[in-house]
Amino acid sequence: MNKIKIRKATEKDTPLIYSLIKGIAEYEKLSNKVTATEEKIRETLFGDKSYAEVIIAEYENEPVGQALFFHNYSTFLSQPGIYLEDLFVKPKFRNKGIGKELLKSLVEIAKERNCGRVEWMVLNWNKPAIDFYKSLGAVPMDKWTTYRLTSDKYENLLND
């Protein structure tokens, strides 16, 4: 019997998704950066316009992790892709194959949707995650630097 089940999240999972977001933020030492609320999650994931999707991992029928993702687009491939925003498994459930099952499910979704690639970022200090991803055949894109323009800087650009 397979102890791991992966399923698509529903609106009823909003509190769970929120708690797992707080869990990854705590693990990444970024709890002070979380401004998400259950209301905002419900609106942006399950409202009239959905901006991202979530798959939930259950271990022996207990929700223990999630992958939150959305589509991007590759001009070079002329294909959609999937960007994995968060992959998180509760610490006491790690090393049971749950993260791998979440990624396998995400790759199945990518294949079904004719996506050319699945991409994500990982913090440079997160050696366990880096080792895990490399063990699956993922390669770092070390010739690229991620840039970010946050909403508090929008007006600077717009008024320039």
Q: Which residues are the active-site residues?
A: 133
Radius of gyration of the chain (CA): 17
**Would you state the structure tokens that stand for residue 63, as one six-digit string?**
């929700």
Whole-angstrom Cα distance, residue 135 to residue 121? 16
Whole-angstrom Cα distance, residue 99 to residue 131? 13
Helix, strand, coil share (%) of the chain residues, nearest 5:
40, 25, 35
Whole-angstrom Cα distance, residue 116 to residue 62? 32
Judge whether 81 and 73 are in contact, CB under 8 Å: yes
